Structure 1
Amino acid sequence: MNLPVIHQKHWHGMWRHALAASGLWLSAACGEVTATDQEPMEGAGTPASVDARRQAVVESSCSPDTTPPVVTCAATAVAECGTHVTSYHAEPEPEVSDNCEIYGVWAEPIYASVGTQYTYISVRDMSGNSASCATKWTILDTESPVIDLAGPTEMTLALGEPYAEPGYSANDFCENYGGLFPVTISGSVNSQVPGTYVLTYKATDRSGNTDIKTRTVKVLATQPVSVLTGNTTQSRLRHTATPLSNGRVLVVGGYSRNAEEYNPGTRTWSAVGAPFAAHRGHTASRLPDGRVLVAGGAKSGSASVEELYDPAQGQWSRTGLMSTVRYDHAAVTLYNGKVLVAGGSTSEGSGPVLATAELYDPATGQWSATAPLNTARRNHTLSLLPDGLVVAAGGVGADGVPLSSVEYYDALYARWLPAPSMSTGRTAHTATVLDNGNLLIVGGLTQDPSLGATAELLDRSGSSRWFPAGSMAIARRDHTATLVRGKVLVTGGYNSQTGIQYSSELYDPKTGWSGFSASLNEDRYKHTATQLDANTVLLVGGFSNRDPSATTAELYTFP
């Protein structure tokens, strides 16, 4: 039987005549009385009519009526918090009956709060006999708070512009209906440092339900600028820096056995275990599956040391060894996934210069010999062109003189082919593949010191010839060159007359060199430069007069 009940909180503790309030009407035959939903007769619900009917019951065959009404309701029920409930909201619905006539039914609502609560139904007949039943409610909170962020969820600030929080609020239907709910914020915005900052807003109720919202704030430079970021945990000289597939940067070696990762999101460094050896003058190549192969730059007895780093696991493992110990060699990951290593020397800073080359197969973890270089070389560059050819350029030969010779490695036929020579011998130079497939060679140690400022371009559009590409403002060696938005950023390096450099320069393939760009915070050479995103390059370590510890790092950012 459905009993219409008006659920209003102010009913609590107050008696209401069910006949008058709910339109519940009862048959008059004593001994056969049950609840019905018939329309009341005129005046039937007034106090006078109720008293008259009570008197009729007393004078009827039910008199005296000592039998209480019968009421049953669900023993248990479950509801979500933040609502009003009565026993009539439970299943099965309550049932009410009496041997004569029911005077009233009362179902008092409760406001559901998390935990255990009870609702009651009370019944009284015309003779004053009463009965009741109770429903035990388990009140749950399965809904999370709701966070509302004022203002945009993506913001942009100019470098140096203060960040002002637009505001936020949260509401939880169960715990603070109509009020404010506490919100915790993690993250911060440093408007003096270009980059993308993420603020995280979190609200959790007592039942553990959580809502999380984020706001992204981009701080943009209006002109090129370089700012310091977190220091490395170890000195970094003659190290490598490898961009990982997770967006972080792995730094290995450089007079330290420990390795570490840079997190661009937090601008912090974290140790990632110790490799099996301390590497210097080594190479670090990212494999197609995301692992990093560290080759050479270390030995155990007379054998080389090669190892793998797995960023997904944060673990190091041994792998197959090269056929010979190598320092100051070069490596490149080919389009077939294998790693080509060529040249180098058998000891750090001295020893025979090598012409041998070998291939690492990630599928087997083993090395195999490939055709040797036509010219033994160390401190040279290896560059993978879009057509699959690898360019070995410059370096130092067996006589210690910078080489101008260049050769191509054809991976399809596993052979080295002669290529046009550069205009001058170069070592400790840089080689950068441009967006158009041409190769830009910049600076380096040259026999004529004045040529250390020059650059030249290998044109692969058809003729495969070298062309002059202008000159930097100063000669540099052991600098870095990074392709950023189609342009080449050159940072730091060493100049034989002025020493270690703070300066940077920019090369545009369309317009050439544009002179000095933003200054670095530290003078650096033999450092590393790794592109983080379309606008940002991470500079790490290197020899420095200002930072002898070689632990500083900085972010070079374009507008």
Structure 2
Amino acid sequence: MMEQARQWLLFGVVLFSVLGCGEEPTVPPEPLPEEPTPPTPVYWSATASLNEARWSHTASLLPSGQVLVVGGLGGDGSEVLASAELYEPSTGTWSMTGKMIEPRVGHTATVLPSGQVLVTGGHNARGTLASSELYEPATGTWTSTGNLSEPRASHTAGLLPSGKVLIVGGRHEDLSPYGSVEEYEPAQGTWSLVASMPRTAWYPKATVLPSGKVLITGQPTDNNVTGYVVRYAPDTGSWQTVGAPLIMNSHTCSLLPSGKVLCAGGYGLALVGPPLSQASLYDEATNSWKTIARMGLGRASHTATVLPSGHVLVLGGSAGSEVLDSAELYEPDQDLWTEVGRMSEPRSGYTATVLRSGQVLVAGGRRGTSTPLAVAELWAR
């Protein structure tokens, strides 16, 4: 019996060896696991709406981290507002605060080193305004603080390193532009004229440079195709003409952490043709411009907000008759524009404010010629 078992075992080993010498059966490879589709980034989130729909208003980040929204056009889109409200980021809510002494649109709002907010000029049913007033965050109240030397609206303002506020350009009652410039002295609450611009310009933009000088860009009133850029030195009251890219009207200029200035979009000569997608960098060290990558879309009357990362968020605005809801992010290190989501509403005449959290609060505006928006939303990367 043991011998028979031994023979069967030997037969099995031989049989296994013979079969093992043949080709192994083909086994189909297992399919590779599918790569998961990366989720679409969600850049936008809702927050509470303004208490009063408005467009062409101003928004200022206060030292408390709240955002003060002032004036603009409300109602059917033509009512000039005196109202103001505060956004509280910790709760995502809006509350009304004290009304301005005068309703205003086309004004400027500048946060002073004291934390007060200086509002200047603009216009209302009375016409173009020379008055200015101060908002006191501690009490939520407004007080008069002297008159500009000349009534003006659609001007530009810049906070100088000295703590003074520079007011440049703007327009008269008859819509003709000013070349005059004045400074506000917060310690005395007084205004004084300084050296006028070499030439007048429509809708100027002021950018305070790291040196303390101020870069002014705009559309020259003689429609010079090369544009108009000048640099003002507050310490000497002198002006210097700077070469200009083809960016003149309804564009944006943003001071980057590098000290360079990014100017983007707007209209070309005499507002002819569609808005530009062109972008340029101004370098104060060399007093020169460099053309950089174009935006994905030509746009005008948009906003450009510098983020804590040094990137620049460009939003909305218009492309001819179309109001835009798109957003683009400029990365200076790579000279690259990237699409970063869409707003819930197409908007022009809105405000965009960087909060302490790094989020961007977008508030108000309007869709084309329709009535003002109360909708607000938050962007974050």
What range is the shorter-chain TM-score in? 0.7 to 0.9
SS of 2:337's equivalent in the other structure is: strand
- Give the superposition deviation at 1:274: 0.9
Distance 1:353 1:244, change over 3 A: same
Residue 248 in structure 1 maps to residue 66 in structure 2: yes
Q: 1:529 aligns with which of 352, 355, 359?
A: 352
Question: Deviations along 1:457-498, whole A, 9 cap, x unmatched?
Answer: 0022x322100111111100000001111100000010016x
Q: Which moved more, 1:474-483 or 1:442-451?
A: 442-451
For the aligned residues, what is the CA RMSD? 2.1
Question: Deviations along 1:26-48, whole A, 9 cap, x unmatched?
Answer: xxxxxxxxxxxxxxxxxxxxxxx
Q: Give yes or no for contact 2:179–2:196 (8 Å, CA) kept in 1.
A: yes
Letter of the 1:527 partner, please give it: Y
- State the alpha-carbon separation in 1 of the partners of residues 372 and 228 from structure 2: 37
Letter of the 1:467 partner, please give it: K
Letter of the 1:481 partner, please give it: A
- State the alpha-carbon separation in 2 of the partners of residues 257 and 402 from structure 1: 38
| Residue number in structure 2 paired with 1:440 | 262
Question: Deviations along 1:343-379, whole A, 9 cap, x unmatched?
Answer: 01013xx521100000000011110010111121231
- Give the superposition deviation at 1:402: 7.6
TM-score by length of 2: 0.83
| Residue number in structure 1 paired with 2:213 | 389
Q: 2:98 aligns with which of 255, 266, 273?
A: 273
Residue 325 in structure 1 maps to residue 151 in structure 2: yes
- Give the superposition deviation at 1:301: 6.8
Moved over 6 A (4+): 400-403
- State the alpha-carbon separation in 2 of the partners of residues 519 and 483 from structure 1: 18
Higher relative contact order (CA 8 A, sep 6+): 2
Question: Deviations along 1:187-229, whole A, 9 cap, x unmatched?
Answer: xxxxxxxxxxxxxxxxxxxxxxxxxxxxxxxxxx994511221
| Residue number in structure 1 paired with 2:119 | 294
- State the alpha-carbon separation in 2 of the partners of residues 310 and 222 from structure 1: 43
Q: 2:44 aligns with which of 219, 223, 226?
A: 226
Letter of the 1:430 partner, please give it: T
SS of 2:276's equivalent in the other structure is: helix
| Residue number in structure 2 paired with 1:380 | 204
- State the alpha-carbon separation in 2 of the partners of residues 547 and 465 from structure 1: 41
- State the alpha-carbon separation in 2 of the partners of residues 381 and 259 from structure 1: 24
Q: 2:336 aligns with which of 510, 513, 522?
A: 513
Q: 1:259 aligns with which of 84, 108, 112?
A: 84
Q: 2:175 aligns with which of 351, 356, 365?
A: 351
- Give the superposition deviation at 1:404: 1.1
Letter of the 2:185 partner, please give it: D
- Give the superposition deviation at 1:512: 1.9
Distance 1:466 1:434, change over 3 A: same
Q: 1:338 aligns with which of 155, 158, 164?
A: 164
SS of 1:428's equivalent in the other structure is: coil
- State the alpha-carbon separation in 1 of the partners of residues 357 and 306 from structure 2: 10
| Residue number in structure 1 paired with 2:286 | 463
Q: Give yes or no for contact 2:146–2:191 (8 Å, CA) kept in 1.
A: yes
Letter of the 1:289 partner, please give it: S
- Give the superposition deviation at 1:235: 2.2
- Give the superposition deviation at 1:450: 5.7
- State the alpha-carbon separation in 2 of the partners of residues 230 and 506 from structure 1: 25
Consecutive unaligned residues in structure 2, runs of 5 or more: 1-38, 74-80
Q: 2:55 aligns with which of 231, 237, 249?
A: 237
| Residue number in structure 2 paired with 1:132 | none
Name the % identity: 34
- State the alpha-carbon separation in 1 of the partners of residues 131 and 278 from structure 2: 37
Q: Give yes or no for contact 2:85–2:94 (8 Å, CA) kept in 1.
A: yes
- State the alpha-carbon separation in 2 of the partners of residues 302 and 511 from structure 1: 44
Residue 407 in structure 1 maps to residue 219 in structure 2: no
